């Protein structure tokens, strides 16, 4: 809640929308994982999928489109740093879609989100930048772990 207030005060409307998006998508993602049987009852394992060239093209294109469209929208309503704000929306949104579909490349989008979020908050809040630095480390560990698990499968 504090983060939402800070984001709203700074004019980072995309951060507010992203939080609302996650509030909806997190339970949906969990239900999809359960429904698709990503968790085996005994071992609680899942099988991570890998994007092919067509998938990369699709999701990178979606990211660029999302970034530009929401950047224009945020700019039109007077948001502070509209394109910095909208790129985090794009990478967060695509990362969530990839996570729901159990693609390991989600971690690349999460890492990008954290890098762009550090840039978004540059000069505004060192504490929030620190939070995103920790999230970036988590993203890199997640990427490593999912790749390691995929090689074993």
Residue 52, pLDDT score? 95
Q: How confident is the model at residue 88 (pLDDT cuts 50, 70, 90)?
A: very high
If you search the block for the tokens 């809040």, which residue do you land on?
125
Rounded Cα distance between 67 and 109, Å, is 13
Residue 37, pLDDT score? 66
Q: Is 0.75 surpassed by the pTM of this model?
A: yes
What digits encode the pLDDT tens for the residues 97-137?
999 888 999 999 999 999 999 999 999 999 999 999 999 99
Rounded Cα distance between 136 and 150, Å, is 21
**Contact assessment for residue 112 and residue 84, using Cβ atoms and an 8 Å cutoff:** no
**Contact assessment for residue 19 and residue 86, using Cβ atoms and an 8 Å cutoff:** no
What digits encode the pLDDT tens for the residues 12-66?
988 888 888 888 888 888 888 777 765 555 665 667 889 999 999 999 999 999 9
């Amino acid at each position: 809640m504090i983060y939402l207030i800070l984001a709203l005060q700074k004019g980072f409307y995309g951060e507010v929308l992203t939080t609302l998006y996650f509030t909806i998508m997190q339970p949906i993602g969990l239900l999809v994982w359960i429904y698709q049987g990503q968790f085996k009852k005994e071992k609680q394992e899942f099988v991570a999928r890998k994007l092919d060239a067509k998938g990369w093209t699709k999701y990178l294109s979606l990211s660029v489109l999302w970034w530009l469209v929401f950047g224009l929208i945020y700019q039109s309503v007077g948001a502070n740093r509209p394109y910095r704000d909208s790129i985090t929306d794009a990478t967060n949104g695509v990362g969530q879609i990839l996570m729901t579909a159990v693609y390991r490349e989600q971690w690349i989008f999460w890492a990008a989100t954290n890098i762009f979020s550090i840039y978004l908050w540059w000069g505004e809040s060192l504490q929030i930048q620190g939070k995103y630095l920790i999230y970036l480390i988590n993203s890199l560990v997640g990427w490593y772990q999912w790749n390691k698990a995929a090689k074993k499968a």
